Amino acid sequence: MSGRKVLIVEDHQSSREGLAIALKSSGFEMLQAGSRKDALPLLVDGQLAAVISEFKLPDGNGLDLLAQLKKSGLDRPVIFVTAYGTMSSAIQAMKMGAADFLVKPVTAKDITDALTSAIKKRDLVRAKEGLESALAPSQP
């Protein structure tokens, strides 16, 4: 699996740090941000494999962050982990391209499994696109 650097966007410092500790023990490298504004410059890190974000942020919501990623053409799976989950917000997030939507309380295993799955899926899609490109007849 390529890339194990993950951006955690969570406004509650204790939750953010607890999540970082759990993921570090699973071999992930962490970047952290407490708001959407703080996260935006970190999204362009070329080694960033995925984003884990609280859905409700002090300066917007996770959907704003997801939309910014899509608009920028950055291929980063986004997993929402929130205490404010509703069926409507989960459906909206998934329609916009979120990799997963988890409602707190969650275990470290829940998050690690979702993260590993999202990164593997992204890597498979990239490999498939690379093969299709290599096999496509060249245009004269």
pLDDT of residue 3: 61
Percent of the residues in the chain that have a pLDDT greater than 70, as a whole number: 96
Among residues 99, 97, 111, 106, the alpha carbon closest in space to that of 28 is found at 111
Q: Does any domain span residue 12?
A: yes
Q: Which residue has the tokens 């499994």?
A: 113
Q: Does any domain span residue 29?
A: yes
User: Which residues, in sequence order, are bridge partners of residue 78?
Assistant: 51
User: Which residues, in sequence order, are bridge partners of residue 66?
Assistant: none
Confidence grade of residue 135 (pLDDT, cut at 50, 70, 90): confident
Q: Does any domain span residue 104?
A: yes
Among residues 86, 107, 90, the alpha carbon closest in space to that of 99 is found at 90
Q: Does any domain span residue 15?
A: yes
Confidence grade of residue 1 (pLDDT, cut at 50, 70, 90): very low
Tell me the residue range of the domain where 67 lies: 5-135
The DSSP line for 61-92 is: EHHHHHHHHHHHT----EEEEESS--HHHHHH
Q: Does any domain span residue 63?
A: yes
Q: Does any domain span residue 16?
A: yes
Average pLDDT over residues 1-19: 87
Q: Does any domain span residue 69?
A: yes
Q: Is the dihedral of CA 6, 54, 10, 61 positive or negative?
A: positive
Between CA 61 and CA 89 the distance in angstroms is: 11
pLDDT tens digits, one per residue of 42-86: 998 888 999 999 999 999 888 999 998 988 888 899 999 998 888
Between CA 121 and CA 127 the distance in angstroms is: 10
pLDDT of residue 139: 63
| CATH number of the domain within which 41 lies | 3.40.50.2300
Q: Does any domain span residue 140?
A: no
Between CA 2 and CA 17 the distance in angstroms is: 24
Percent of the residues in the chain that have a pLDDT greater than 90, as a whole number: 67
CA angle 37, 38, 42 (to 5 degrees): 115
pLDDT of residue 109: 94
Number of domains in the chain: 1
Q: State the pTM of this model.
A: 0.88
Q: What proportions of the chain, in percent to the nearest 5, are helix, strand and coil?
A: 50, 20, 30
